[in-house]
Amino acid sequence: GAGVSQSPSNKVTEKGKDVELRCDPISGHTALYWYRQSLGQGLEFLIYFQGNSAPDKSGLPSDRFSAERTGGSVSTLTIQRTQQEDSAVYLCASSLGTGGSGTQYFGPGTRLLVL
Amino acid sequence: AQSVTQLGSHVSVSEGALVLLRCNYSSSVPPYLFWYVQYPNQGLQLLLKYTSAATLVKGINGFEAEFKKSETSFHLTKPSAHMSDAAEYFCAVRLSNFGNEKLTFGTGTRLTIIP
């Protein structure tokens, strides 16, 4: 079956612009996660959703970052007023549910470059 | 709280030789432990996971890892390296208590295979 998909695969933007990154989880997966992978910080957790609610937003680095999930499926990560330090690969993952030892399945990522 | 330390950011082994990638963790409660592999410009793929059942875990592509509580380690091994094993490997930990869903990753080990 189809895996986690993310769009766009690459995004180049100018400092100060807003960007939206999209994630389509595996069908039937109720949990969805956003991570960021950067040279300086490695792989960092940003936020996760169970259904449409986000019980843990502790990894969002600033109030310029927000995410939503509608219909328990697609999620959008929005970065407002982008800064050069936001340049990174943004990875989305999904899992069947929360709790237990469930596997998180990752998408290919969106590579964001802020000029 | 939880953390992961991967010793050796770069490891080189000859084709056919033993692969050993080290991972040590700290966790305030019993952990779930994971090894993921990342090929260039791709997302993360699960190799194997420890979920408090057997301490020796077998994964895909001939990899295995042993959970050693006394040493707080979860090292990844493969008896005979193949050229196709060249990639970056990430160890990750997740707390097993309810409500803790985020994966905390190590900084990664880049594996190079020498022909």
> Shortest Cα distance from B82 to chain A (angstroms)?
24
* B74 Cβ under 8 Å from any chain A Cβ: no
pLDDT of A86 > 70? The answer is yes
B58-98: pLDDT as tens digits? 999 999 999 999 999 999 999 999 999 999 999 999 987 76
Is A99 in Cβ contact with B98 (below 8 Å)?
yes
Supply the pLDDT for residue B93: 93
A11-23: pLDDT as tens digits? 999 999 999 999 9
Of A59, A103, A108, the CB nearest to B102: A59
Spell out the residues 6+ positions from residue B66 whose beta carbon is closer than 8 angstroms to its own: B55, B56, B57, B73, B74, B75, B77
Of A48, A58, A106, the CB nearest to B44: A106
Is B32 in Cβ contact with A99 (below 8 Å)?
no
User: What is the spatial distance between Cα A55 and Cα A71, in angstroms, rounded to a whole number?
Assistant: 16
For an interface test with B, which of A43, A44, A46 has the most B Cβ atoms less than 10 Å from its Cβ?
A: A43
Buried b (16+ CB within 10 A) or exposed e, B30-45: ebbbbbbbbeeeebbb
pLDDT of A100 > 90? The answer is no
pLDDT, average across residues A71-84:
95
User: What is the spatial distance between Cα A21 and Cα A29, in angstroms, rounded to a whole number?
Assistant: 19
Supply the pLDDT for residue A1: 56
User: What is the spatial distance between Cα B58 and Cα B66, in angstroms, rounded to a whole number?
Assistant: 9
Question: Cα-flanking dihedrals φ and ψ of residue A63, to 5°?
Answer: -75, 0
Structure-token match 């803790």, residue found: B100
User: What is the spatial distance between Cα A12 and Cα A39, in angstroms, rounded to a whole number?
Assistant: 17
Q: How confident is the model at residue A46 (pLDDT cuts 50, 70, 90)?
A: very high
User: What is the spatial distance between Cα A105 and Cα A103, in angstroms, rounded to a whole number?
Assistant: 6
User: What is the spatial distance between Cα A37 and Cα B112, in angstroms, rounded to a whole number?
Assistant: 21
Q: How confident is the model at residue A72 (pLDDT cuts 50, 70, 90)?
A: confident
